[in-house]
Amino acid sequence: MLHVAVDPSKVPAVAFERSPGYWQTVGRRLLRDRVAMGAALVLLLLLVLAVFGPLLAPADPYKASMLSRLKPIGTPNFPLGTDELGRDMLSRLMVGARLSLFMGITPVVCAFVLGSMIGIVAGYAGGRTNTVVMRTIDVFYAFPSVLLAIALSGALGAGITNSLISLTVVFIPPIARVAESVTTQIRNRDFVEAARASGAGAFTIVRVHVLGNVLGPIFVYATSLVAVSMILASGLSFLGLGVKPPEPEWGLMLNTLRTAIYTQPWIAALPGVMIFATSIAFNLLSDGLRSAMEIKS
């Protein structure tokens, strides 16, 4: 270290001292969390598969072959074996990442937008509005989520769009509930009172003072729902309510391969392994995000 006497007049006009913002700090803390980073790496790989799966797949995932049905893992040309119609499992798992992730993430994103809106409005309005909105939301809570998803999909009819809609409806109540509770907490803080005292309207206060404090926790909760959503979507496909054959989707593959569970149990389990890995990765990442965001209460 060199200590040099500095003439204050010679120091160039320094810029404003800026400390890292909240999200920068959260990002830095998240990068130091090894488990979360591992989970993020897995998710990154899955994302690559989802985007480039069809290009990377070694074989055509739709090409059936009656001669090579249910080949075991390690068969030449079929590193992960074949399914009940003789299609290459590796290719189908890779290509299936796109639909499965899409089915897992889309409903959560939609429910995040809608549920946050409902919850924040109810939480900020408080009083009677809150009671009416939240009791209505509670009605949906009365049904187990699996049952609700199946009932809605069944009523709407099979198909990707309909299962996305029904899954969105399933996830709106829990997200709205979380949004309502964090908003209620923030609403009673003095800085919101101070904002009201400055004459700001409700919309401005929510935009400037509430959203920034509320979206983080809701987002963390929503990421943990992605895993549930994937499992539910797989379940719908398994029941024949979601994705239709011959599309490769992990839930559907699990369904069609169940006939092979006694002859080729390892192959039958493969799509389940993919679902398991993805949901674990999402859960670990959201856990990491949660602890990274707990900087100071």
Partner 1 sequence: MNARSQALLQVSGLVKHFPLKKSAFGRGGGVVRAVDGVDFSVSAGETLGIVGESGCGKSTTARLLMHLITPDRGEVVFDGAGVGGRDLSLRDYRRQVQMVFQDSYASLNPRLTIEDSIAFGPQVHGLARGEAVQRARDLLARVGLEPRRFAERYPHELSGGQRQRVNIARALALQPRVVILDEAVSALDKSVEAQVLNLLQDLKDAFGLTYLFISHDLNVVRHMSDRVMVMYLGQVVEIGAAQGLFESPRHPYTRALLSSIPSMDPDRRTEEPPLAGDPPNPIDPPSGCRFHTRCARAEPMCAQREPARPQVFPIASGGGPGVAQPWGRSQVACLMYEPGSGHSAAPAATSPDPVRVEHP
Binding site for partner 1 (CB under 8 A): 14, 16-19, 21-22, 189-191, 193-201, 204, 208-209, 212-213, 295-296
Please report, to the nearest 10 degrees, the dihedral formed by the alpha carbons of residues 28, 51, 110, 183 taken in order: 0
Q: In terms of CB distance, is 58 or 212 closer to partner 1?
A: 212
CA 271 to chain centre: 19
- Distance, in Å, from the CA atom of 175 to the CA atom of 280, rounded to the nearest integer, reads 20
167: left (phi over 0), alpha (psi -120 to 50) or beta: alpha
Q: In terms of CB distance, is 8 or 74 closer to partner 1?
A: 8
Q: Which is nearest to 93 in space by CA: 45, 61, 66?
A: 61
Q: In terms of CB distance, is 47 or 208 closer to partner 1?
A: 208
Least separation in angstroms between residue 9's CB and partner 1 is 16
Tokens 């590796």 belong to 90
Least separation in angstroms between residue 135's CB and partner 1 is 16
- Distance, in Å, from the CA atom of 64 to the CA atom of 154, rounded to the nearest integer, reads 30
Q: In terms of CB distance, is 44 or 295 closer to partner 1?
A: 295
Least separation in angstroms between residue 21's CB and partner 1 is 8
Least separation in angstroms between residue 212's CB and partner 1 is 4
Least separation in angstroms between residue 116's CB and partner 1 is 16
By residue count, the chain amounts to: 297
Q: In terms of CB distance, is 60 or 193 closer to partner 1?
A: 193
Least separation in angstroms between residue 59's CB and partner 1 is 51
Q: In terms of CB distance, is 90 or 205 closer to partner 1?
A: 205
CB atoms within 10 A of CB 7: 7
Q: In terms of CB distance, is 23 or 266 closer to partner 1?
A: 23
Least separation in angstroms between residue 192's CB and partner 1 is 8
Q: In terms of CB distance, is 51 or 194 closer to partner 1?
A: 194
Least separation in angstroms between residue 138's CB and partner 1 is 17
